[in-house]
Amino acid sequence: MAEFQLYCFAQSGNAYRAALMLNLIGADWEPIWVDFFAGGATRTPEYRENINEMGEVPVLVHGKKKLSQSAVILTYLANLTGKFKPQGEDEELESLRWIIFDNQKVNGFLGPFRFLKNFVPQQADPAVMAFMKARIYGALAIVNKRLTGRQFLVSDKPTIADISMTGYFYYPPGEFGFDIAKEHPAIGAWMERMKALPGWAQPYDLMPGYPFGTRPEI
């Protein structure tokens, strides 16, 4: 058995943050596929009783520890390994600030927007989609401005704030109907820098369950 297990599925950008971190730190880890779509696994009493009372992925298991919330998982792994760890109080607070902004306003909207666009049988209300798209563009403009003239979000080295921000960014542009990297050049350049890190992989190559509904051998 690998040292770390990650409950996840390929379509989850929230889980991607944790999977990417594990890969970037060179951890010995294995994914545990969660049948979110067809099986509704995260909504079952068993999942909520035994895996995560919040009914979400990602969940990281490390020995007796079971952690959820990608921000908590990233912090745990950074503290454990010293890798991608913000240095000193100022960087730690700055990193937390960007992670909260990301969770709430960047990937916090990108995830549900993509979900409504791709994974529900009925067409989503256009007014809802327009509202969400406007929120996404507003948040992406803020991130793009932050990254203009900077290498990474918090310091001249990548930290867990950068890993958190990658959430949904590397899914195919067709799944959003817009191209994050092309439309926001500073984000696009930062995405290339993140992509160049040893161990980087695209979400569909890192977590099981793609194409939709299938379970590849792991």
Ligand X SMILES: N[C@@H](CCC(=O)N[C@@H](CS)C(=O)NCC(=O)O)C(=O)O
Query: Where do contacts with ligand X occur on this chain (CB under 6 A)?
Result: 12, 14, 42-43, 55-58, 69-70, 103, 111
For residue 31, the cross-strand partners are 6
- The minimum distance between CB 52 and ligand X, in angstroms, equals 8
Nearer to ligand X, 12 or 144 (CB): 12
- The minimum distance between CB 14 and ligand X, in angstroms, equals 4
- The minimum distance between CB 40 and ligand X, in angstroms, equals 8
Nearer to ligand X, 68 or 144 (CB): 68
Nearer to ligand X, 54 or 192 (CB): 54
What is the Cα–Cα distance from 87 to 15, expressed in whole angstroms? Answer: 25
Q: Are 62 and 29 contacting, i.e. CB atoms less than 8 angstroms apart?
A: no
- The minimum distance between CB 110 and ligand X, in angstroms, equals 10
Nearer to ligand X, 56 or 162 (CB): 56
What is the Cα–Cα distance from 144 to 71, expressed in whole angstroms? Answer: 21
